[in-house]
Amino acid sequence: MSKHWFTWKALDNEQTMIGGLWVGDDAAEIQARLRNEGFFPVAIRRRQKPLREFLMHRAQIRWSFQTRRLANLLEAGIPFLQALEIMTSQKGELTFEQKQWLRVKDRVMAGSDLSEALQDLDSPPTPYVLSMIKAGEHAGNLGKALNEVADELEQDDAFRLKIHTALAYPMLLLIAVLVALFVLSTEVLPMYEKLFVSMDVELPFMTQVILMVGRKLPFILASLFLIAIGGILVLRFRNPNDWKINLKGLMRYLPLLNKIYRLNGLVQFTRILGRLLTTGIPLLEALRLTADTCRGSDMLKLTEQLIQSVRQGQRMAYILNTSEVFPREGAEMLAVAEETGQLDMMLYHITRLFRRDLECQLERLTRMIEPALILLLAGLIGLVAGGVMLPIFELSSHIE
């Protein structure tokens, strides 16, 4: 049975209402787990997948803060169990996160490692985070590993925010263009058409074309909207587990966004793989963990090919050189790194190159789209105004 996410509300021993987000097979399992924890369930509701992704992203930000806090305590020389005690100490009622860390502390006191205790939580960190923590435990530098995890999560969140910010303004301008077209075609143009019909005016050709397009434009816009929604629904029901990955994969066909999404996938791939190799995780296991973090279908397919190649004892260079996704320059750099045994350092340098290229592409996209959409909006309004004013000018000349 597939797992689902459930939001719940329950009363604790002090009759205080608390809530959370747990994963399970069904609501009955969540209810049983709540009762085992000593809570009285009040409401349990299944979450839909789009909201789950947003909440998982928010959880990633919370994990960044918590791992940073624990890392600072450990690097300050505080013993591990005492650091966990500080993480859960607070006057008054404990928050839900602190109760989760209290469970972690109990598991650690029972003899479990931190990575094992975190994995048993109801909302555990990602496999990448757990692997980084496990590597830090084996190397004896848990504080450093937790700091690296926090850096990685914060960097990933900051870069995702930068991409969303760069694309937000062009999207707002595009929406403004569509709204302006809809208002012109439904409110402005019909009013002038009725006026011209009532005055029995012979309309210029341009005005006739504008009025004809204006009558059909609402239908065209509604049809495009329904086609887009229908396509997303079909994609979702045909691939309920991977429909978002496939939808993002379609971005590669867009003329301006394809390179941005491809570079973002490359940055994430090289950064995470390099970080895992730096901690001492074997290449094959690092590739498997990297595959769990891939958000695009192209990068996921490439990572799976690399896993098969490495499992057969081959080098990654051949797959990367023949790939249409990975740049030839980066593939040649990694080929040299494989020969010299410095793959992790080379991945770090390649990540910097890809990130610099991605930032340049974002800046170029913003510079191109913003003036183009502004000119398009101004041109459309000017064209409609000119087409409407032509008959009025002719009428005024006849009256004179």
The partner residues of 21 in beta bridges, in order of sequence, read: 7
**pTM tops 0.85:** no
Identify the DSSP state of 186: I
Given a contact cutoff of 8 angstroms between Cβ atoms, the answer to whether 299 and 276 are in contact is no
What band does 174 get if pLDDT is binned at 50, 70 and 90?
Answer: confident
User: What is the 8-class DSSP label of residue 187?
Assistant: I
Rounded CA-CA distance 259/131 in Å is 30
Place of tokens 């793959």: 343
Please determine, for residue 192, whether its predicted confidence score (pLDDT) is greater than 50.
yes
pLDDT of residue 116: 81
Q: Enumerate residues 6+ apart whose C-beta is below 8 A from 383.
A: 210
C-alpha span between 30 and 32 (Å, rounded) = 5
Q: Looking at 38-42, 198-202, 238-242, which range is the least confident one? A: 238-242
For tokens 């005492």, name the residue: 82
Q: Quick one: pLDDT at residue 246? A: 63
The answer to whether 2 touches 23, Cβ cutoff 8 Å, is: no
Alpha helices in 13-141 (DSSP H): 27-36, 49-75, 80-88, 96-109, 114-119, 127-139
Residue, of 5 and 133, whose pLDDT is higher: 133
Instruction: Give the domain ranges of the chain.
Output: 1-47, 151-400
**Which residues, 6+ apart, have CB-to-CB distance to 122 below 8 Å?**
20, 21, 22, 23, 33, 100
Look up tokens 């059909």; give the residue: 216
Helices (H), the chain: 27-36, 49-75, 80-88, 96-109, 114-119, 127-139, 142-183, 189-198, 205-238, 243-249, 258-278, 283-291, 297-311, 316-322, 328-340, 343-399
> With 70 as the cut, is the pLDDT of residue 28 above it?
yes
Q: Which amino acid is at 265?
A: G
